Chains A and B, each alone.
Chain A
Amino acid sequence: MKRPVLMPAPLTPSLLAASRRYLTRHRWQTWLSIIGIALGVAVVIAVDLANESARRGFRLSVEQVTGPATHQIEAASGAIPDATYAQLRIAHQLEHAAPVLDAPIRVDGRSMTLLGIDPIAAAPMRAAVAGAADADPAGLVRLLSTPDTLALSTTDAQRLGANVGDAIEVEIGSEARAMTVAAILPEQGGQGLAGLAISDIATAQEVLGRVGEIERIDLILSDAQAAALADALPTGLRLQPAAQRGNALEQMTRAFHTNLTAMSLLAMLVGGFIVYNTMTFAVLRRRPLLGTLRMLGVTRSQLFLLVLTEALVLALIGAVIGMLIGIAVGAGLVQLVTRTINDIYFQLSVRNLHVDPLSLLKGAGLGLGVTLLAALGPALEAARSQPRDVLRRTLVEQRGQRLLPWLAGGGALTVLLGILLVQLSGRSMAIGFVALFLVIVGASLMMPLVVRVFAMATTPLFGLLFGTEGRLAARGITASITRSGLAVAALAVAVAATVGVGIMIGSFRTSVSQWLENTLTSDIYISVPSDGATGTGALPPELPEQVAALPGVAAVSQGRGNRVQTRDGLVMMLALESSSGRPRGFRFKGATSDDLWTRWQAGELVLVSEPYAYRRQVAVGERIELFTTSGWRSYEIGGVFQDYGSDSGTLILPRPIYAVLWDDPGLSSIGVVLEADTDADAMSERIDSLLAHLDQPVRMQTNRAIRELSLEIFDRTFTITKVLRLLAIGVAFVGILSALMALELERAKDYAVLRATGMTRGQLRKLILLQTSAMGIAAGLLAIPLGLAMGDLLIQVINLRSFGWTMPMQVTAATLLSGVLLAWVAAVIAGLYPALRAARAAPAQALREE
């Protein structure tokens, strides 16, 4: 006999109507779920928009400064003498070659770039300059002939309210200087000129204190011309593709952007929990109804599809709302991202949030994907509905209870898989994050069983402390563990995230603070204001001697910071020299070379920072190559030192060696060690009066001021992390509110029976709040081990793989207690409305069959 085949049936209008009305009838839960998804999507979109806007701003500024140049000539020392440029141009008949000197400046509180060019040489290469010259020849003449002049874009001129001939105040480092607007450049299409202050190269040299030198030569070359020129360049100069410089800088912030994205994904994960919770509740609540539908002939696939369709509708509404919130939050976040990049990487100006449709689609798509994934379990559960479920209502909970050990076992395996991934994934940051998420998901699967054990164990205690209500509250958790366990797990994950991130930030801050104390061995520091990217400017060479001669000064150390070329790109080089012998303040990771300081001072060894060693996978005894004025030179690594100052790595050589090999005798900083009984403030005043005679900007800071400023920058850096953590807590709060609401509303009938039996409104309120309190405390306690595990993973895996830093984990009782407190407060607040509602409800109405 031919067997009847049940074709996959579509959802019928009545099924869809039943579903739609279920969602609208339970609008509180529906909306909480939508808000959960929306917040998750919003955080992801906001972070992505902020990241993309920062990257776009960076690319734009690189393009503006680079122009259409294909190649650039740079010097090992960071400075090319004017004469060398002229010789190269003539010797190699470089048709499209222009000297450039640029530096970050601030005008009216906003970051801009001072771009010093030779307008005549640059005109054939830069359409904007050529256009401006044609439109306003007089302006060009003023720019070339008048000192301290600059040209602004129309946008910036309008923003500043400046006209041709007006003086504007320009901050260069810590020095303010009045410069006159010589011309206003018409806006071009594409990248525009906003954010640029263009001056003649001679003006730039003068205002930046770099007379007689340029930073680089921009060129337009064919590949063949480039190859020929590269071979012919004198020692100490190198030709590189123009894009390389931007790429190298952009690489520096990659880990930072990735970490932000991961934080946003955490919020999305918590959002996924909410959806899972909501959909599971929806399925469990409707189990008898689903059984009835199965009796009527509705297929498993139809029920599966029905639940997924509901989730999809929630996700779509949530995604649309999330996109709108994401754009609004992104506008605030981009400022935080930019500020962090400015603080720890390089000067960057991002004027507007760039709303990239792709970011919106990515966020919305992720929201939809996570929602559908989260709804998959409940949908399968719905599809498993048996027609007999209609007849046996307690079956669901019984089956759920039986599943708990399996769920916990699966969770334990997932956690183990996460730990295994950490061990096997080498240095991959992405897999590190996957492992972190596996640990979170695995732990949350184990939680319902632990919550049941907790509730069962504490039932006598609750009874003893709070009487009948206490006992009923604890038993209520056990009786509906499939749902209460989920609510606790969602809250615990969110709180664990805050505990874990809190531990990571706390450990990091303590390590940085100790490192600063160890590294800053001088009492007073004198330095040239720097943009952090290049070693522009230098202190007068006679200054160290003058300072050393001051009574009360025990020793003077000198330093020069500059970026040098390695085979893997630019790296910060710190050249040190101390009048008291070898430099102090180094804490090495692992063993160092024998006879370290003698060989280092002889120029045989280079010291590398921990992030450098981690990123380039180099160790003591291995060799690295550096580009010097005499070409590539190889150095043996003598030691790997602890350094939280830069995540892109730092190299250290003796200053006398560096000065010769990079032809850079300049001095960036002086460290002053005082004699034991010398007053630092009094000495500061004396040095200040010494510096007052200098005709260049110089910064003087005490050891304490630098430490305070560094920690201030540290805290500022983590502001964005804290904001994201708050957003994740917000999502989690919505989750616990949604879960508790659903749980308490589902028990409306039980409560009605209790009320009908003689329980007062007050007793009912007490019962519900005790129950949510117990769940909150359970979540808080469970969040501690998970938070510690997350903190450990963030420090030992994520931080290391992202930035190359290692640090000991520091856990304070306050961090852990605040986690428990947060969970309890969130649960109690979330329980308030259900408690009030249940107490107000008329028992007769609640007792009616739905």
Chain B
Amino acid sequence: MTSQPTPVLAVAGVSKSYAEGRQRRAVLNDVSFEVPAGECVALLGRSGSGKSTLLNLLAGIDKADAGDVAIMGRSVTAMGEPELTLLRRQHIGFIYQFFNLIATLTVAENLALPLELNGMPVDQRKQRVAAMLAKVGLDGREDAFPDQLSGGEQQRVAIARAIVHEPALVLADEPTGNLDARTGAVVLELLAQLFRDEGHTMILVTHSREVSAIADRILAVDNGRLSTQAEALSW
């Protein structure tokens, strides 16, 4: 008997609700799915559909009311704060809608930060940062500060920072949501290419079907439930 490889992400029966006055509003209801290594999954949904809540649960920055989230076979739900910090540091990369670069660090320093936190020696760090900058087309801009970059450039730095330490899972929250259509398309193409080339596992949260098109699989989030790709495309 051959054992199945452990999925990078396994979500099993996750539910989440928030208090609204005296009542509780269900945001996620019995959500389950798995993501094997190297797959890019898009969570597609309208505003308020629960996709951001799901992303928070996947990152371990919010706790589910029921169910379990496991990353690389380890239950995030059961982890304490130090373990979660270590998990994020070593195995997860984040890409945000508003870039969230460290304003007081240069481009190179922003990229070097996850490597520093993981204790990589200076020489290797420099090489890795230079290589990553070249990949996202920002070589020569290493000494620039974020506020000297355009929105598209900032998001490219954010993408590079998310994968520079080769995480097992990348979580991207509306990565083109804060960019104009043209720049967004360029960034999206870069993102798709990087993930194809490097074989990262990614969860892409978006409300845009165009963006979700780069994913290997699309899961639609609607009223706190997951539906299949076909159903998602119908709304």
Show the binding face of A for B, using Cβ within 8 Å: 3-6, 9, 12-15, 17-22, 25, 288-289, 291-300, 386-388, 390-391, 848-850
Q: Which residues of A contact B88 (CB under 8 A)?
A: 294-297, 387
Return the chain A residue nearest B91 by Cβ.
A297
Using known A-B contacts A9-B117, A296-B94, A391-B52, determine if residue A18 contacts B85 with beta carbons closer than 8 Å: no
Using known A-B contacts A12-B116, A289-B103, A388-B62, determine if residue A297 contacts B147 with beta carbons closer than 8 Å: no
Interface hub of A14, A20, A849, A850 (most chain B Cβ within 10 A)? A14
Q: Which residues of B contact A18 (CB under 8 A)?
A: 102, 104-105, 109
6 A–B pairs (Cβ distance < 8 Å), ordered by A: A3-B83, A6-B82, A12-B117, A298-B85, A299-B85, A388-B62
Q: Which residues of A contact B229 (CB under 8 A)?
A: none
Contact of B85 among A25, A288, A291, A297 (CB under 8 A): A297
CB distance from B70 to the nearest CB of A (A): 13
Q: Which residues of A contact B94 (CB under 8 A)?
A: 295-296
Query: From residue 23 to 69 of chain B, which have CB atoms closer than 8 A to chain A?
Result: 52, 56, 59, 61-62
Interface hub of A13, A295, A296 (most chain B Cβ within 10 A)? A296
Contact of B89 among A3, A17, A289, A297 (CB under 8 A): A297
CB distance from A30 to the nearest CB of B (A): 13
Is the CB–CB distance between A14 and B83 below 8 Å?
no
Return the chain B residue nearest A25 by Cβ.
B104
Using known A-B contacts A12-B117, A295-B59, determine if residue A390 contacts B105 with beta carbons closer than 8 Å: no
Is the CB–CB distance between A294 and B147 below 8 Å?
no
Is the CB–CB distance between B59 and A298 below 8 Å?
no
Q: Which residues of B contact A17 (CB under 8 A)?
A: 104-105, 109
**B195 adjacent to chain A (CB < 8 Å):** no
Using known A-B contacts A17-B104, A387-B88, determine if residue A298 contacts B56 with beta carbons closer than 8 Å: no
**CA of A643 to CA of B66 in the docked complex: distance in angstroms?**
77
Show the binding face of B for A, using Cβ within 8 Å: 52, 56, 59, 61-62, 81-83, 85-86, 88-90, 94, 96, 98-105, 109-110, 112-114, 116-118, 147, 161, 173
Q: Which residues of A contact B101 (CB under 8 A)?
A: 292
Using known A-B contacts A14-B113, A17-B109, determine if residue A6 contacts B83 with beta carbons closer than 8 Å: yes
Q: Which residues of A contact B86 (CB under 8 A)?
A: 4, 6, 297
Given contacts A6-B83, A292-B100, 11 further A-B contacts (CB under 8 A): A4-B82, A9-B117, A18-B109, A20-B104, A21-B105, A288-B100, A292-B102, A294-B88, A295-B88, A390-B96, A848-B147
**CA of A25 to CA of B146 in the docked complex: distance in angstroms?**
14
CB distance from B154 to the nearest CB of A (A): 9
CB distance from A304 to the nearest CB of B (A): 13
**CA of A289 to CA of B103 in the docked complex: distance in angstroms?**
8
Using known A-B contacts A289-B103, A295-B59, A295-B88, determine if residue A14 contacts B82 with beta carbons closer than 8 Å: no
Is the CB–CB distance between B90 and A297 below 8 Å?
yes
Q: Which 7 A-B pairs have the closest CB atoms?
A: A297-B89, A21-B104, A6-B82, A12-B116, A387-B61, A292-B100, A18-B104
Contact of B113 among A3, A4, A15 (CB under 8 A): A15
**CA of A19 to CA of B103 in the docked complex: distance in angstroms?**
10
**CA of A848 to CA of B146 in the docked complex: distance in angstroms?**
12
Q: Which residues of A contact B103 (CB under 8 A)?
A: 289, 850
CB distance from B207 to the nearest CB of A (A): 16
CB distance from A749 to the nearest CB of B (A): 14
Return the chain B residue nearest A26 by Cβ.
B104
**CA of A82 to CA of B28 in the docked complex: distance in angstroms?**
106
Query: Main SS of chain A's interface residues?
Result: helix
Is the CB–CB distance between A289 and B116 below 8 Å?
no
CB distance from B165 to the nearest CB of A (A): 9
Interface hub of A4, A22, A297 (most chain B Cβ within 10 A)? A297
CB distance from B97 to the nearest CB of A (A): 9
CB distance from B103 to the nearest CB of A (A): 5
Q: Which residues of B contact A391 (CB under 8 A)?
A: 52, 56, 96, 173
Q: Which residues of B contact A291 (CB under 8 A)?
A: 100
Interface hub of B90, B105, B113 (most chain A Cβ within 10 A)? B113
**CA of A382 to CA of B147 in the docked complex: distance in angstroms?**
24
Is the CB–CB distance between B59 and A297 below 8 Å?
no
Return the chain A residue nearest B73 by Cβ.
A1
Q: Which residues of B contact A6 (CB under 8 A)?
A: 82-83, 85-86
Using known A-B contacts A300-B81, A387-B88, A388-B61, determine if residue A850 contacts B105 with beta carbons closer than 8 Å: no
CB distance from B74 to the nearest CB of A (A): 8
Contact of B82 among A298, A299, A387 (CB under 8 A): A299
Q: Which residues of A contact B104 (CB under 8 A)?
A: 17-22, 25
**CA of A19 to CA of B113 in the docked complex: distance in angstroms?**
13
Q: Which residues of A contact B113 (CB under 8 A)?
A: 12, 14-15, 296
**CA of A850 to CA of B146 in the docked complex: distance in angstroms?**
8
**CA of A850 to CA of B117 in the docked complex: distance in angstroms?**
24
**CA of A805 to CA of B90 in the docked complex: distance in angstroms?**
68
**CA of A293 to CA of B117 in the docked complex: distance in angstroms?**
10
Is the CB–CB distance between B116 and A4 below 8 Å?
no
Q: Which residues of B contact A14 (CB under 8 A)?
A: 102, 105, 109-110, 112-113, 116
**CA of A216 to CA of B59 in the docked complex: distance in angstroms?**
87
Is the CB–CB distance between A849 and B61 below 8 Å?
no
Q: Which residues of A contact B147 (CB under 8 A)?
A: 848-850
Return the chain A residue nearest B105 by Cβ.
A18
CB distance from A288 to the nearest CB of B (A): 7
CB distance from B92 to the nearest CB of A (A): 8
CB distance from B49 to the nearest CB of A (A): 16
**CA of A432 to CA of B91 in the docked complex: distance in angstroms?**
56
Using known A-B contacts A14-B105, A17-B105, determine if residue A296 contacts B114 with beta carbons closer than 8 Å: yes
Return the chain A residue nearest B108 by Cβ.
A14
Using known A-B contacts A6-B86, A17-B109, determine if residue A293 contacts B59 with beta carbons closer than 8 Å: no
**CA of A20 to CA of B103 in the docked complex: distance in angstroms?**
12
**CA of A300 to CA of B56 in the docked complex: distance in angstroms?**
19
CB distance from B151 to the nearest CB of A (A): 9
Q: Which residues of B contact A25 (CB under 8 A)?
A: 104
Is the CB–CB distance between B56 and A388 below 8 Å?
yes
Return the chain A residue nearest B84 by Cβ.
A387
**CA of A12 to CA of B110 in the docked complex: distance in angstroms?**
12
Q: Which residues of A contact B117 (CB under 8 A)?
A: 9, 12, 296-298
Q: Which residues of B contact A848 (CB under 8 A)?
A: 147
**CA of A294 to CA of B96 in the docked complex: distance in angstroms?**
14
Contact of A297 among B61, B109, B112, B114 (CB under 8 A): B114
Is the CB–CB distance between A386 and B114 below 8 Å?
no
Return the chain A residue nearest B151 by Cβ.
A849
Q: Which residues of B contact A12 (CB under 8 A)?
A: 113, 116-117
Q: Which residues of B contact A390 (CB under 8 A)?
A: 96, 100
Is the CB–CB distance between B83 and A4 below 8 Å?
yes
Return the chain B residue nearest A387 by Cβ.
B61
Q: Which residues of B contact A295 (CB under 8 A)?
A: 59, 61, 88, 94, 100
**CA of A391 to CA of B61 in the docked complex: distance in angstroms?**
11
CB distance from A307 to the nearest CB of B (A): 14
Return the chain B residue nearest A294 by Cβ.
B85
Q: Which residues of B contact A387 (CB under 8 A)?
A: 59, 61, 88
Q: Which residues of A contact B173 (CB under 8 A)?
A: 391
**CA of A848 to CA of B148 in the docked complex: distance in angstroms?**
11
Q: Which residues of B contact A294 (CB under 8 A)?
A: 85, 88
Return the chain B residue nearest A292 by Cβ.
B100
Q: Which residues of B contact A849 (CB under 8 A)?
A: 98-99, 147
Return the chain B residue nearest A1 by Cβ.
B74
**CA of A294 to CA of B100 in the docked complex: distance in angstroms?**
12
Q: Which residues of A contact B56 (CB under 8 A)?
A: 388, 391
**CA of A289 to CA of B99 in the docked complex: distance in angstroms?**
11
Return the chain B residue nearest A5 by Cβ.
B82
Q: Which residues of A contact B83 (CB under 8 A)?
A: 3-4, 6
**CA of A849 to CA of B114 in the docked complex: distance in angstroms?**
23
**CA of A13 to CA of B56 in the docked complex: distance in angstroms?**
29
**CA of A17 to CA of B104 in the docked complex: distance in angstroms?**
8
**CA of A15 to CA of B114 in the docked complex: distance in angstroms?**
11
Return the chain A residue nearest B111 by Cβ.
A14
Return the chain A residue nearest B104 by Cβ.
A21
